[in-house]
Amino acid sequence: MIRLKSRAAREEGFTLIEMMMVVAILGILTGIAVVQLTTTRNMFKGDAAMRVVLSEMNQAREMAITQRRYMRIVFDTTANTVSIVREDTTATTTSLGTWMFEGGAKIQLTAGTGDTPDAFGNSSATAFTSSLGTFNSLTGQTTVAKFAPDGTLVDWNGNVTNGTIFTGIPNMGPSARAVTILGSTGRVRGYRWDGMHWQLV
């Protein structure tokens, strides 16, 4: 005997409502992924800018010690570059290289971040504090710091000082980074903003 399946049993597939729900869920998951990827990408760009500053500060300090010369670190907030310049004599200098921030990162203060745990100040993006004030600002857009031949960070007058350099991508809070320099030892440390606090890297 041949048994015939009912028409309802033979029909297979998804209803329109089921398909619409699947598409809606996929849309929500895609939106979440895009937001997370954008945030993560900006965090990586912030890390890259911080590493440029860390690297150049450490390199300038080592060169100051090994070459027994003052090494200037020049932060240009207009061009967003960091340069190392050797003081050969009182009047002559030699540029040893310039490095640019990539991915839209800038030397800047990010609103709402506050000072780092080292508390060296954040009144400007390149906030170097000392008893005699800030480093010499050549054009209002350029700040110069110096490492002495003994490895200490000094101000324009040769006095030991501390400093902080803040970087980040404009309007991207999670990209905020800071590099602090303890003048008496030349110790350089990096900090990452987690949205509420500065975290030591």
| 76 burial type by CB count under 10 A (0-12 exposed, 13-18 middle, 19+ buried) | middle
Q: Highest-confidence range of 39-43, 114-118, 123-127, by mean pLDDT?
A: 114-118
Q: Which pTM was predicted? A: 0.73
Give the C-alpha separation, 162 to 130, whole Å: 7
Q: What is the mean pLDDT of the segment spanning 86-108?
A: 86
pLDDT band per the 50, 70, 90 thresholds, residue 67: very high
Q: What is d(CA 115, CA 165) in angstroms, rounded to the nearest whole number?
A: 11
Residue 86's φ and ψ, nearest 5 degrees, are -90, 135
Q: Cβ contacts of residue 105 below 8 Å, gap of 6+? A: 45, 46, 48, 49, 80, 167, 168, 169, 175
Answer positive or negative: Cα dihedral of 120, 121, 126, 129.
Answer: negative
What per-residue confidence (pLDDT) applies to 60? 93
Q: How large is the average pLDDT for residues 159-175?
A: 85
| Percentage, residues of the chain above pLDDT 70 | 81
For residue 19, the number of C-alpha atoms closer than 13 Å in the C-beta half-sphere is 4
3-state secondary structure (DSSP) of residue 163: strand
Burial class of residue 163 in the structure, from the number of CB atoms within 10 Å of its CB (0-12 exposed, 13-18 middle, 19+ buried): buried
Structure tokens of 44? 């990586």
Contact 155, 135 (CB under 8 A): yes
Q: What CATH code would you report for 15-200? A: 3.55.40.10
Residue 88 in this model has a pLDDT that exceeds 50: yes
pLDDT on residue 128: 56
- Report how far residue 16's alpha carbon sits from residue 20's, in angstroms, rounded to the nearest whole number: 6
Q: What is the pLDDT of residue 105?
A: 87
Sequence spans of domains, the chain: 15-200
